[in-house]
Amino acid sequence: MRYSVIFLIGFFMLSGCKEDSSGNNQRALDSVVAQGSSQQGHWSYEGETGPEHWAEIEAGSDCNGKFQSPINIVKYKENTNLKPIALYYANKTKIHDVTNNGHSIQYNFEPGDYIVVNGLRYDLKQVHFHEPSEHTIDGVRYPLEMHLVHINDSGQYTVIAVMAKEGISSIPFEFLESFLPLKPGENKIVDFPFDMNDNLPENKEYYFYIGSLTTPPCTEGVNWYIFKEPITVSLEQVELLKNLMPVNNYRNEQPHNGRQIYVSRD
């Protein structure tokens, strides 16, 4: 166990150094806040601008790196040293706006919500969706995956992934989708508070690994926390997002390349 902790700490240190030296931090920050609007580059999820060509399209990006995301969450090891994620989501933090950026439906948050990871504060910037899920868990692909993208003062990323399965209609999703539909490139001001806690599973156990952003510039050194327990949304709620986003707006799983995946325990 001691060596697992040392390995984990070392990986954090290496990932931080890589981001500082890559020169992609500001570009990646812009990409995360806007998540690849239709005016930013010409990448897509299919054909000659699909994921297999992202490294060519995005010169200087990490899209051809060794530690990319998403991955299949498999062969994970229990690590009792992993602590619960310190979530500081308030019921008064406002969603500023929602946009259909041509790649996903994205809700941009005003300052207020944040998490603390290893003593560092990461502010919630935006939430977006992939249909079906990008990560698979033991080879299982869920109908929907929600990404909560957080950034710290050094420009480093922590992303919380929440899987969704078809079931009972989600009241928080009803609120989010009440501002839809939006055409590609369209933006709508929301200016309403939203309690992100209501959109999270009750069980906060998670899988952890270090990977990358799943869209160009595919910046590496990203801390990924993937909740084990999915939330439920209705088929109609999944279909609404599906009809507004590109078909299959997910990147295929990437090689592990020796990375260790950990699983927390309450």
Catalytic site residue from 53, 96, 103, 150: 103
Instruction: Report cis status (omega within 30 of 0) of the bond before 111.
Output: no
Does the annotation mark 103 as catalytic?
Answer: yes
* Residues composing the chain: 266
Token output for 240: 């609404």
**Can you tell me the distance from the alpha carbon of 19 to that of 29, in angstroms, rounded to the nearest whole number?**
11
**Positive or negative CA dihedral for 176, 178, 179, 183?**
positive
Q: In angstroms, how far is the first alpha carbon of the chain from the final one?
A: 17
220-227 and 157-166 strand pairing: parallel
Helix count and strand count (H, E) for the chain: 5, 16
Do 215 and 62 contact (CB within 8 A), yes or no?
no
Check: CB of residue 161 under 8 Å from CB of residue 147: yes
Q: Which amino acids are annotated catalytic? A: 103
